Structure 1
Amino acid sequence: MGALIFYTAIYFLGYYAAHLLNLIIGGTLIRNRRISGLLAVFMVSLVHGYKVISTTPPHGHDEEISHALGFYIILPIIVIVIAVAIRIWQESGDRDIP
């Protein structure tokens, strides 16, 4: 649950950073802020995954690396990607309705 909240916060930081950059420039440099939020999530997940793989687990944790990668990195990213894809799909459907 904590990893999902962490990656959701990273997504919104990337989303609003793209929005702020567009406001500062005064034009549209980044058209799709949702994709920029996902890119931020992917970049942080790569660093997080490298950190999980390269360090030894703490004492008392008998979890394997694959379990840690799947539960703390891959699962939250899949949930966020599905939520963003559904939101993009809903917005594209709203444009068709007059």
Structure 2
Amino acid sequence: MVILFRKKISDIRTVMGALVFYTVIYFLGYYAAHMLNELSGRKLIVNRRMGGLVLALLVGTAHGYKIISSPPPHHGDGAGFALGLYVLLPLAIITIAVLYLNWQDRQDNER
């Protein structure tokens, strides 16, 4: 029971690490879009949130390809589990957050 509990805590830490990693990538894309707009003097990228999301999805695609193309570890659960846990879950959370914030902005603009 204690070993199973420790494994679950370890899984939570790695998922949180992946979520933090993709959140940092998202904000790098977000602020890169902002800086590009500031340097150009006009809006080249209208929706900075989508710009950040696109960068996070591109990095996630490269990360997923690396997970699938490398040989699985002998002690691991497999490439599908790693792909879902380290790539799909964090990107799904970030995508839901971005879509929710865009929806909230649209609701505020209609008022």
| 1:1-98 equivalence runs, <5 A | 1-59=16-74, 61-97=75-111
Distance between the aligned counterparts of 2:61 and 2:48, measured in 1? 20
Query: Deviation of residue 58 (structure 1)?
Result: 3.6
Counterpart of 2:100, as a letter, is I
* Structure 2: 5+ residue stretches without partners: 1-15
Kindly provide the CA deviation profile for residues 9-35 of structure 1, in whole angstroms up to 9, marking residues without a partner as x: 000000000000000001111101011
**Cα-Cα RMSD:** 1.0
Distance between the aligned counterparts of 1:85 and 1:43, measured in 2? 17
Kindly provide the CA deviation profile for residues 51-73 of structure 1, in whole angstroms up to 9, marking residues without a partner as x: 101112345x3211100000100
4+ residue segments displaced more than 4 Å: none
Please identify the structure whose Cα radius of gyration is greater. 2
Q: TM-score normalized by structure 1?
A: 0.93
Give the number of aligned pairs. 96
* Structure 1: 5+ residue stretches without partners: none
